[in-house]
Chain A
């Protein structure tokens, strides 16, 4: 049995036979087939099971609007669930499997759900799984999760690459049917830069699906000839297999090009898909229309499909779903299907037309004023039951039924800017909103002009009009003569009295569900949609929304436009997450910034930590060290005893120059900078305008008009942004220029009692580093290693005698090696961010944990630094009473009463005897570490009135972990409180 339902003609290449499998069984199709057309050709109507009731389902449509024929395509890591068989191009070796079944597709054990359909109605979950509450997590949710969804994913990494690209054009034409082709021809010949995008792999839209002829050639031939001309024009870019997903602001569209989906796997070096961002000056939507079904009892059996799709299969793919078919219609379009299939030798059981005045046929029976009221056939249609105008019923044997309920314009992109589709009474459908995207024009069926002649003329006219308005001279394009049949249809949505009549086949929403929602008082279409899930499946209700709205209108006694419609959002069709991610995945998700000593640090066995985008050495593990604390304690001790070196390049560096540089910094920092002497560095605290501490760092004055500002690593970008704001928006007339030099200069901290002696070995001898010549907080432009320009700052984060030496980045690797070499005689150690953190906590220096976005200068113990003698950002609002209460939090140190106990960050402090609750919290721990110098844990904490509670014993609690022990409030300066070391 092979291709028993293949007809003559069509646009398939019969010389190319392709083997494929479905559910493990082998079949053959031809090049040009979709998986759906090839399965139909082989007599396969059953392609899947429905979502809720596990009803047998076949193909409903011939395009991307397909709700039913969703399969798992390919195998292994490339397996893709919920792929529409109607758009999957057939290739040799294709494998597909049906979804959402237990057991085989024919005998799905979950089909039992269909027997319980009375319970599985709208709102089933809300109503059923209410109680007992304890059942939810353990019983209900696992069952629901197991039952939810259709296909399954491979759980393997996607082996394919996805790209993102950018395109610019004068006119973007969306859809390459008659309207789109006529428009592209007009604009292409006028030399405009045109992009013509269509989701199909063969351009032409319904010209490929219809039998109609243009004078001496078929519509399909005219399409092919037009595409050939367009392809020869250098100013036209034809993008087949490209779905325009969304309309964004100012003429920007997103589009997905399926570069390799029609191949077994992408060619080497090629992406699977490309997500394009298209910048257009003008755009024209020629997306056509989607046919809609009519609801009747059991209208979801395999073999029941849209009449237009049936015609597509017959004319384009030379396939009929069965050897004997019937058509159920409310308009003339259904008769075309019967005529086309009859012409191909298919037996027509009857055309059932709801209109009493339906046109007659010489070739087959037309039942005027009849309705299909039921169907039979467990796994595929066997017969339909028809009620005649007099009330009598007839059984008609047929293997397929084409249903024609009229056409809905594909207005999706026109409502991406929240425009609501507007009712077009002449076709009983919603058309584009009058307030659509500003630069988007519409032509053809998407506009509600459903004839081919109107589409051709509309496309050409819209393009010509746009061209004329935008400075192009467009010549009229000669269009072929096409049939111009007036649309004759009688709106008819659902057979009277039907219940288990499907509206949304993918989400299993029936007429009965809409009736129930109405009965339960749902009025708004938005609520109806969410309660019943109508139109919420992956097809966004392309075939189902109108039916639901019509039923709701009938139930409420309103007209459809009064009931209104929901709107559409991007993407137009389901899109793989991988396409949005593009190349930004795994380690490429975001850039990695490496410090200039990175290679050297790797050689030294550094363990790295992510600090924002930076990788910084966290500690340098030596042979024999098995726990990070061993390395960190050693680094801290060696630094405090002799000398240690740390790469601090990641701290932000902002070069501030101009005659008003000092004035500017005086406004940026809350403390004074106007009078800072040349050759001096000062600690500076920056406040936000609301008085909260923003960042801290140092500013070194290298010349009258030149400062170097440092920021914390985390705030390097935001401080620079803040300073640019102040410079341009607040004080535009100050003569000051900013530039970030974070990456231009590498900077090393050299800290410890031997820091000076080490540096003297690399700094050129003409620079005197003695305490008198270069005291604490000095700064200078110097040279090192025999003439290399460098900057030296005598600043200390560790609390030791310390310097920071900056050299141009390209010398950084050589510099660290030279420093370590010079330090050998002092047993200098490199230290990482952990040791850096331990030493700053021991010294009581605030860092990000303390400048946490809720704390003020007062909290930090720097209240008096905020100058009242000048205007600086944050100075006024830091005086608010709420920020200056007498029991304000103050930064203090803590140590455990029992030295064996840790003092973990995040714990809260309670007065002894107080209840343990938030209302009685006396403060909280911000930073904690083990101090190798003190031999026990220490921490920094904010404590209410902490500065006046020295020596008090508090309870340190963490209700989350059950932690509760006593700590003593001490000065935050655990090491060298008088600062003698750093001034040595």
Chain B
């Protein structure tokens, strides 16, 4: 596969390490009242879509960016590639 890195342009997927569902960005608040249940969902519950899937790819043999790649699991077509840092910020993760 070719992943169109937002900073580096098209790169072979062999340079990347697949890191799973991009939902891993949505780490719950440890002080929420239902924190334990939320962390169990966060840790163990995954959708297994037949189609578009947002997933993390780590450019380990490159610039070490984590990317959020939106990819069709059946055709491998890639619809969008974003820097995970930008996605994390947009989803409220900060510090």
Q: Mark A414-446, 1 if CB is under 8 A from B, else 0.
A: 000100000000000000000000100000000
Residues of A within 8 A of B84 (CB): 728-729
Q: Check if A663 is an interface residue, CB within 8 A of chain B.
A: yes
Q: Is there contact, CB below 8 Å, between B30 and A663?
A: no
Q: Check if B73 is an interface residue, CB within 8 A of chain A.
A: no
Q: Is there contact, CB below 8 Å, between A728 and B2?
A: no
Residues of A within 8 A of B12 (CB): 279
Q: Known: A249-B1, A728-B84. Is A875-B30 also a contact (CB below 8 A)?
A: yes
Residues of B within 8 A of A252 (CB): 1-2
Q: Check if A764 is an interface residue, CB within 8 A of chain B.
A: no
Total interface residues on B, CB under 8 Å, equals 36
Q: Is there contact, CB below 8 Å, between B58 and A690?
A: no
A250, B78: Cα distance in complex, Å: 9
Q: B-side binding surface: helix, strand, loop or mixed? A: mixed
Q: Is there contact, CB below 8 Å, between B76 and A728?
A: no
Q: Is there contact, CB below 8 Å, between A249 and B39?
A: no
Instruction: Give, as a whole number of angstroms, the nearest-CB distance from A883 to chain B.
Output: 12
Q: Mark B59-95, 1 if CB is under 8 A from A, else 0.
A: 0100011100000000111100001110011000111
Residues of A within 8 A of B64 (CB): 724
Residue in chain A with minimal CB distance to B68: A729
Q: Known: A725-B58, A728-B85, A731-B93. Is A250-B1 also a contact (CB below 8 A)?
A: yes
Residue in chain B with minimal CB distance to A873: B27
Q: Check if A877 is an interface residue, CB within 8 A of chain B.
A: yes
Residues of B within 8 A of A279 (CB): 2, 12
Q: Is there contact, CB below 8 Å, between A871 and B30?
A: yes
Residue in chain A with minimal CB distance to B83: A728
A438, B24: Cα distance in complex, Å: 31
A247, B95: Cα distance in complex, Å: 44
Residue in chain B with minimal CB distance to A250: B2
A211, B28: Cα distance in complex, Å: 74
Q: Known: A721-B17, A725-B58. Is A733-B89 also a contact (CB below 8 A)?
A: yes
Q: Check if B6 is an interface residue, CB within 8 A of chain A.
A: no
Q: Known: A721-B17, A724-B66, A732-B89. Is A689-B30 also a contact (CB below 8 A)?
A: no
A252, B13: Cα distance in complex, Å: 11
Q: Is there contact, CB below 8 Å, between A689 and B39?
A: yes
Residues of A within 8 A of B65 (CB): 728
A603, B27: Cα distance in complex, Å: 52
Residue in chain A with minimal CB distance to B88: A732
Give which listed residue, A250, A875, A876, A877, contacts B76 with CB less than 8 A. A250
Give which listed residue, B36, B43, B66, contacts A689 with CB less than 8 A. B43
Q: Check if A730 is an interface residue, CB within 8 A of chain B.
A: yes
Which size bracket describes the interface of A in this complex? 20 to 34
Q: Check if A734 is an interface residue, CB within 8 A of chain B.
A: yes
- B residues 34-65 near A (Cβ < 8 Å) are 35-36, 39-40, 42-43, 56, 58, 60, 64-65
Residue in chain B with minimal CB distance to A251: B2
A875, B30: Cα distance in complex, Å: 9
A417, B77: Cα distance in complex, Å: 11
Q: Is there contact, CB below 8 Å, between B85 and A732?
A: yes
Residues of B within 8 A of A690 (CB): 43
Residues of B within 8 A of A417 (CB): 75
Q: Check if A141 is an interface residue, CB within 8 A of chain B.
A: no
Q: Check if A483 is an interface residue, CB within 8 A of chain B.
A: no
Residues of A within 8 A of B27 (CB): 689, 730
Q: List 29 A-B contacts (CB under 8 A).
A: A248-B1, A249-B1, A250-B2, A250-B78, A252-B2, A279-B12, A417-B75, A438-B75, A689-B42, A689-B43, A690-B43, A728-B65, A728-B85, A729-B25, A731-B93, A731-B94, A732-B85, A732-B89, A732-B95, A733-B89, A733-B93, A733-B94, A733-B95, A871-B30, A875-B30, A876-B28, A877-B36, A877-B39, A877-B40
In the complex, besides A279-B12, A728-B83, A732-B89, 19 extra interface pairs with C-beta distance below 8 angstroms are A250-B1, A250-B2, A252-B1, A252-B2, A417-B75, A438-B75, A689-B27, A689-B43, A690-B43, A721-B60, A728-B84, A728-B85, A729-B56, A729-B88, A730-B93, A732-B85, A733-B93, A876-B30, A877-B43
List A residues at the B interface (Cβ < 8 Å). Answer: 248-252, 279, 417, 438, 660, 663, 689-690, 721, 724-725, 728-734, 871, 875-877, 879-880
